[in-house]
Amino acid sequence: MGKVRTSAFSVSIDGFAAAPHQSLDNPFGEGGMVLPGWMLKTRMFHKMTGRDGGDTGVDNGFAERSMENIGAWIMGRNMFGPIRGAWPDESWKGWWGPNPPYHTPVYVLTHHARAPIEMEGGTVFQFVTDGIESALKQAREAAKDRDIRIGGGASVVRQYLAAGLLDEMNLALPAVLLGAGESLFAGLDLPALGYATVERVTGENATHVKIVRKAA
């Protein structure tokens, strides 16, 4: 059985995974694009978006490994898009165009049902209305022996941490402060939940920290 993990998840030094006021023009909130800025410079991201070039150093290595051995994704409604409440129609199909970068089943946590969306490249968005454990069960069946990546946003990662369902968390911390936004660790006592830091590596534009859940 593969791991349940969060990888290359960008967090500000003051603990925010997104800035306030997410919108179509500001997927990470107003001013929040400084968070994934380290990844946008990598060769992996350039290749994924059909461009040449990009940095090839430590940050790129973490970006590349974040996409390896994934059999399914789980994400929250906010990561899928800026629309809130009931779906007004079925026109919104994510931020990523006709060929999203996932190429696996993607389970989107939401309170509002919607039919699955089949995209180019093997990505199928499926909408789960009965909680994180149901999404994880479905993702395990789809992933088989590969990993399940919890993509975000912060609320989804917090829920899996609080339930002790996240095996491993790889954070990327660029040297930026947001001051406000969506806190990744609000209300969590990670040591009490069995989590410990096991690795820290300094990249060109972010520090990479690995946190794992210790065996009971």
pLDDT at 204: 98
pLDDT at 175 over 90: yes
Residue 89 is assigned to a structural domain of this protein: no
The pTM for the full model equals 0.94
Rounded-to-integer distance, Cα 193 and Cα 121, Å? 37
Q: What is the per-residue pLDDT across 59-76, written as a single tens digit (0 to 9) for each? A: 999 999 999 999 999 999
**Mean pLDDT over each residue of the chain, to the nearest integer:** 95
| Amino acid at residue number 160 | Y
Number of domains, the chain: 1
pLDDT on residue 47: 92
In tens, the pLDDT along 23-41 reads 989 999 999 999 999 999 9
Q: Give helix 132-143 / helix 154-162 axis angle, nearest 10°.
A: 90
CATH of the domain at 31: 3.40.430.10
Residue 22 belongs to domain spanning: 4-82+94-213
Q: Looking at the predicted structure, is the pLDDT value of residue 152 above 90?
A: no
Strands (E), 22-113: 70-76, 105-109
Residue 108 phi/psi, 5-degree rounding, is -100, 120
Distances (CA, A) of 20 to 44, 112, 138, 183: 28, 23, 31, 11
Q: How far is CA 93 from the centre of its chain?
A: 17
**For residues 144 and 130, what is the distance between their CA atoms, to the nearest angstrom?**
21
Q: CA-based Rg of the chain, rounded to a whole angstrom?
A: 16
Q: Name, in order, each residue with C-beta under 8 angstroms of 149's C-beta and a sequence gap of 6 or more.
A: 5, 6, 7, 66, 70, 72, 73, 74
Supply 183's token pair: 């806190």
Residue at 42 is within a domain: yes
Name the region of 201 (left: φ>0; alpha: ψ -120 to 50; beta: rest).
beta
Percentage of residues of the chain with pLDDT beyond 70: 100
Residue 214 DSSP code? P
Count Cα atoms within 13 angstroms, Cβ side, for 204: 17
Residue 121 belongs to some domain of the structure: yes
Residue 87: inside a domain, yes or no? no
Does the pLDDT of residue 214 top 90, yes or no?
no
